[in-house]
Every structure is written in C-alpha cells, then in structure tokens.
Amino acid sequence: MAITGENYTVESRTRDSDQELVDFFKRAYAGEYNSYDYRSDRAIFERIKWQNDTNPSMVPGGRTEWICRSRDSGRIAGHFAVMPAALKVGGSYIRAAWGRDFIVSPELRGTGAGTLLLNKAIADAKEEYGAILLAGVGDKSYGIFSKIGFRETGRIPAHVLILDADNVASCLVGNVIASKILAGGLKFFRSASAGRFRKEASTGGVSISPVSSFDGEFDGMWADNSQEFNVSVRRDRAFLDWRFTKCPAGGYSVFSARDFVSGKLRGYIALRRGLARGIHTGVITDIFARRDDGETIEALVEHAVGYFRSMRDIDMVRCDIMGRIFVPALTRLGFIRVPSSSRLMYLSSDESVSSLLSDEGNWFLTYADSDLDLSGTREEGL
C-alpha cells in the first residue's frame, strides 16, 4: 500500500520498474563519491539482479525496496532498500535486513521526500524483519536515523598497517613539509608497533591455499564454530558463494586455512584491492576462524599482509572489524587502530534482540556483512 504526502508518494518497488530505477540512479548518484558504480546501465542491472534474485536470504514476495515519486511529474525522487540476511542472535537466527542505497535526487533534498520515504520503508520493514541494521552511518545521516528510532551500537573499528608511509602521507596532506612530518610520524608508529608487539602465536600448523569454490566443508565449519559468536550474519557456503563468487563487483581473492596434518578446514580470509584518495589499499573484507584459534587467525592475517606486500604498489592494508578476538593478531602484525566515523546502528521491536545488538562485545562484523564493501568501485571502494 502506498503512502502519500503533499508533494510525494511512496510505494514498494516492483521489478517492472528496473529501467526507470537505473535511469534514476545515474542521475541521483552523479555527484556522489561512488558515482562510478552508477554510470553503466549494464553494471547497475547486474547489481539489481544480484541483490534481488540471488541473495540466499531472500524470500518470495518479501519487501526489499521502496521508491518515492513526485506527485507532479511521476518521476522517482528517492530510493531506499534493504539487503536481507540470516542473523544469529544468541542461540537462534532471525530474519534481519541491512539498509542500503538510500538516495534522494539532489535537487529535491530538504523538501521532505527523504523523510516520507524512510518513514514508510522502515514501517514496512519492521513488519517483515526482526531487526533492521545500518553499517557505515556517518555524522550527516546519524541524526536522521536516530529520529526514527535507530540506536547506536558503536563505531566499527578500523585497523591499518602502513606499508609505504611516504605515499600515504603525501596523499593525505598536500603540503610537502606537513607531508614529511606526517610520514615521519607514521614510520615511528610502525616501528614502535613492530618492536612492542612481537609475533607470539605459532602458525606452522596451518597451511594456506586459494579457494575457487565453497563446498559443504564451509557449512560444517560455520556450524561447529558459530555458536561462539552471539551476533553474526550466517556464513554458510550459500552466503559465501553469493557474496564472493557471484558478486558483480568481483575482485576478491579468498584463501582457506587448513590443519597442516589433517587437512581440516579451520578458517578463511577474503581480500581485494582498493584505491581511495590516491592510496593503494589492500582490504581484508572478511576473516573467520574459531574464537580461540589464535594460530589460524594469525596465519590468515600474516598471509594477507604477505599477499599485499608482494604486489609492490600497495601503500597500506586495512581491516574494519567488530570482533575483539581478531585484534591481538592484527596488533602483533603491526596494525594500528585509527579513528572511525563509521557507526553501526540497529532497530528492533524485540527488546531481547535489542539487548544483544546494543553490546559491541557480542558482535562479529566485517566489511562483508552489509553493503560497506559494495560502495564504490574496486578503485575507490573504501
């Protein structure tokens, strides 16, 4: 059922409006940081198909997209969508959804279109999903979502390993003298970190190899180890195949960690390249292993660092992760935590669910869970 305002109407989007939505995205995202993703009709169609037709958490007839139309012209004025996910909360799974692609035509911002759109979309989504989640919420949108009931869990921690301090500094600071000062500071922190945190966990019992497809072993690994995390998106083979094999953005390299003797699967890591503000970045998109398996976690991170170092042109390695068990390995290998403006927010009518979502310590969250890693191209996807 549509909702109407003085100047706009809001309705659930149907697939027969795909071309109209493609045209709207090209106009609305033209001046945005991720505009590159919305220049090609083919790329946009592939993204729509991937999000709506292949997501293993989709259910027939489920509502996932809403559009706001101008009553005068009938044209699309705004869009909001969600990405369904199977979310483990405590000992069971709920049907959750990540907010995505909230955009209003630039010339119509501040006219009430966005507010009407969100009120309708969130009201509908609350009827269908046990929790609505937002990742990467910045200062500008924080107030908007807070007003409609979203609560903040915390900032998603960002960890970086500087490989080329001079290039990172020159990209961040235009002034030559300031750049040299910053580079000196980065080198100091890098050397201090390397001297203070030596490698402690042995990784000789783990073998790392590329993953070309996901099979039943990944289902078994998730089933055996997921109970250790209170809140996490289900990482079975269906999700991993959809997220890393079928994703039209592509560019992922996935590696498995196996027991050197038995060959049993113990974990995996997903990596890609990125470029932001001239900084060539190696991105750890996802990593998973048993909570107490420090050997595997460190072996995976160590492999990621070596993998990106071998490319020669990578300036830094980045890992955004909410999961405290992974921090010691990152720290021992020289990563430092940097300020993050990326918030995690949630909305749920179930207070027992909300109580778990509110505590950062309950979460296992990486770039792979929401649409964070889908914003921007492989060249600007940070």
Over the stretch 314-338, which tens digit does the pLDDT of each residue have? 999 999 999 999 999 999 999 999 9
Domain 3-129 top-level CATH class: alpha beta
**Which range has the worst mean pLDDT, 163-167, 202-206, 244-248?**
202-206
Identify the burial level of 196 via C-beta atoms within 10 angstroms of its C-beta, where 0-12 means exposed, 13-18 middle and 19 or more buried.
Answer: exposed
The confidence band for 76, taking pLDDT boundaries of 50, 70 and 90, is very high
Write down the residue that tokens 């309708």 correspond to: 120
Kindly report the pTM of this predicted structure.
0.89
**Residue 310 pLDDT level (bands cut at 50, 70, 90):** very high
* Inter-residue contact 240 to 221 (CB < 8 Å): no
Q: Is residue 181 over pLDDT 50?
A: no
| 350 vs 249 pLDDT, higher one | 350
Task: Give one word for 169, left, alpha or beta, with left for phi > 0 and alpha for psi -120 to 50.
Answer: alpha
Q: Rounded to an integer, what distance in angstroms lies between the CA atom of residue 355 and that of residue 332? A: 32
**What b-and-e string marks burial along 3-30, b requiring 16 or more CB atoms within 10 Å of the CB?**
bebebbbbbebeeeeeeebbebbeebbe
Which residue is listed with tokens 């509908």? 124
Average pLDDT over residues 351-365: 97
Packed helices 41-53 and 18-28: angle between N→C axes, nearest 10 degrees: 120
| CATH of 158-340 given 3.40.630.30, 3.40.50.10280, 3.30.70.1560, 3.40.50.80 | 3.40.630.30
Integer Cα distance of 258 and 281 in angstroms: 27
The answer, yes or no, to whether residue 180 has pLDDT greater than 90, is no
Amino acid at residue number 30? A
What span, in angstroms and rounded, lies between the C-alpha atoms of 300 and 255? 8
pLDDT tier, 123 (very low <50, low <70, confident <90, very high otherwise): very high
* Residue 322 exposed, middle or buried by CB count within 10 Å (0-12, 13-18, 19+): buried
pLDDT band at 5 (very low <50, low <70, confident <90, very high): confident
Mean pLDDT value of segment 226-238: 95
Domain ranges of the chain: 3-129, 158-340
**Averaged pLDDT for residues 294-303:** 96
8-55 pLDDT tens trace: 999 999 887 899 999 999 999 998 878 888 989 999 999 999 998 999
Q: Is the pLDDT of residue 175 over 50?
A: no
User: What does pLDDT average to over the chain?
Assistant: 89
